[in-house]
Amino acid sequence: MQRRNFLKTSASAAFLAGTLPACAVPSTQEEKAYTHQGRINNYQKFSVIDPGLKITGIETWSRPDVAVVRVTADNGMEGWGQISTYDADISATVLHRKIASLVLGSDPADIDDLADRCVESNLKFPWSYVLRALGGVETAIWDLYGKIRQQPVCELLGGEVKAVPIYGSSMSRSITAEDEIERFTRLRDEKGIKSFKFRVGKEAGRNGDAWPGRTEEMVKGVGSALADSCTMLVDANSCYTPDRAIEVGKMLQDYGISQFEEPCPYWEIEWTAEVTAALNLRVSGGEQDNDLAQWRRIVSIPAVDIIQPDPLYLGGVLRTVRAAQMAAEKGIPCVPHSANLCMVTVFALHIMRAIPNAGPYLEYTIEEGGINQTARQLYSPGLEIVDGRLDMPSSPGWGVEFKKEWLDKADYQVSNADS
Site residues for Mg ion per CB under 5 A: 235
Least distance in angstroms from the C-beta of 145 to Mg ion = 29
Nearer to Mg ion, 59 or 289 (CB): 289
The span from the CA of 360 to the CA of 228, in Å, is: 18
Least distance in angstroms from the C-beta of 259 to Mg ion = 11
Q: Which residues of 63-78 are buried (b: 16+ CB within 10 A; e: fewer)?
A: bebbbbbbbbbeeeee
Nearer to Mg ion, 122 or 365 (CB): 365
Least distance in angstroms from the C-beta of 261 to Mg ion = 5
Least distance in angstroms from the C-beta of 233 to Mg ion = 10
Least distance in angstroms from the C-beta of 237 to Mg ion = 6
Candidates 143, 138, 217; CA nearest to 174 is: 217
* Residue number with the smallest Cβ distance to Mg ion: 235
The span from the CA of 89 to the CA of 34, in Å, is: 36
Least distance in angstroms from the C-beta of 272 to Mg ion = 13
The span from the CA of 253 to the CA of 75, in Å, is: 57
The amino acid sitting at 58 is I
Determine contact, residues 290/266, Cβ cutoff 8 Å: no
Strand partners, 364: 168
Nearer to Mg ion, 157 or 273 (CB): 273
Least distance in angstroms from the C-beta of 230 to Mg ion = 18
Nearer to Mg ion, 116 or 180 (CB): 180
Nearer to Mg ion, 138 or 235 (CB): 235
Nearer to Mg ion, 62 or 238 (CB): 238
Q: What is the DSSP string of 314-360?
A: TTSHHHHHHHHHHHHHTT--B-----SSSHHHHHHHHHHTTSTTB-S
Q: Please tell me whether residue 146 adopts helix, strand or coil conformation.
A: helix
Least distance in angstroms from the C-beta of 210 to Mg ion = 16
Element (H, E) at 155: helix 153-156
Q: What is the DSSP string of 247-298?
A: HHHHHHHHTTEEEEE--S-TT-HHHHHHHHHH-SSEEEE-TT---HHHHHHH
Nearer to Mg ion, 68 or 236 (CB): 236
Nearer to Mg ion, 141 or 335 (CB): 335
